[in-house]
Amino acid sequence: MTKHQKRLSVPNSWPVERKTQTFTVKADAGPHGEDGVPLLIVLRDVLGYVDSRKEARYALNQDQILINGTPESDESRPVGMFDILAFTEREEYYRVFPGEGGRLALTAIDEDAAESKLGKIVGKQHVTGGDVQLTLHDGHTLLVDDASEYAPGDSIVIANEDDEIVAHFEYEEGALVTAVDGQHAGEIGTIDEIQVTASSAPNNVLVDQDGGSEGFETIEEYVVVIDENFTGDSEAESESASGETASSDDEDEQAAPEADAETDDEKAGGDDE
């Protein structure tokens, strides 16, 4: 298994330019699966807070960059949909939200909103002890005593400090949703109809939109139920995750790394020193 990541083969959700350089950092194992974007890319290519991996490591060692309320020290840690990024020294807070074309974008939020995160329930099962375990879209799991009110497809908001469920949004017709993948990624509307297919094919969801739009149709997997507060956040100034600010100082991304003479950074993903 290769230790390097070429820009041309990164997932569509990664906010990096494909053809400016050859290699970029490779994400470590972690939340969000292969769609998770390495934290280094967010810090360098999206926000422009650092110019290199070395600067990112120094910044992370100050314990002032938090993901979902926890200080992060790994620049390769995957960041994905609905994660909360907090920069305590700058007093800046962002929610990762779907942008145009499915690429991840950062939406500025206030400090109170950064104390909890939204998750889509993708699994529900009984575990030893009689509790029920809910699995969220990013792999996060939590136990609940009474899970009768929760179902796959629903969304919940959990506190970063103690995993307490502070809000619950049911997946049903009339619910406010956003598409997180596919042709309509980033669009928001209300569910008009859930078309259940009598086969292994995914269910279809018809979504209505305001402003005279005809709405759109997508598959159930791409829909996440959200709250009205999320649409309010979208009016705030956002950092586009288009990858157009990629650094040009990554000299060792210009050519393929030598198999017998890899630096520490090349072993981590062929990125800058």
DSSP state of 238: E
Domains observed in the chain:
5-109+238-262 (3.10.290.10), 116-169 (2.40.50.740), 176-233 (2.30.30)
CA distances from 268 to 180, 214, 265 (A): 29, 46, 5
Q: What is the dihedral of CA 196, 133, 28, 35, to 10 degrees?
A: 20
Per residue in 78-98, pLDDT (tens digit) is 898 899 999 999 999 999 988
Selected residue with higher pLDDT from 21 and 229: 229
Amino acid letter at 61?
A: N
More confident residue, 104 or 15: 104
**Which range among 74-88, 190-204, 233-247 shows the weakest confidence by mean pLDDT?**
233-247
CB distance 241 to 103 below 8 Å:
yes
Mean pLDDT computed over every residue of the chain: 79
- Report the candidate in 118, 93, 89, 117 with the shortest Cα–Cα distance to residue 107: 93
What's the pLDDT score for residue 260?
Answer: 38
Please provide residue 46's backbone torsions phi and psi, each rounded to the nearest 5 degrees: -95, -55
pLDDT at residue number 226: 94
Structure confidence by residue, pLDDT tens digits, 205-214: 999 987 556 7
Tally Cβ neighbours within 10 Å of residue 264.
Answer: 8
| DSSP-assigned beta bridge partners for residue 116 | 159
Distance CA 187, CA 103 (A): 12
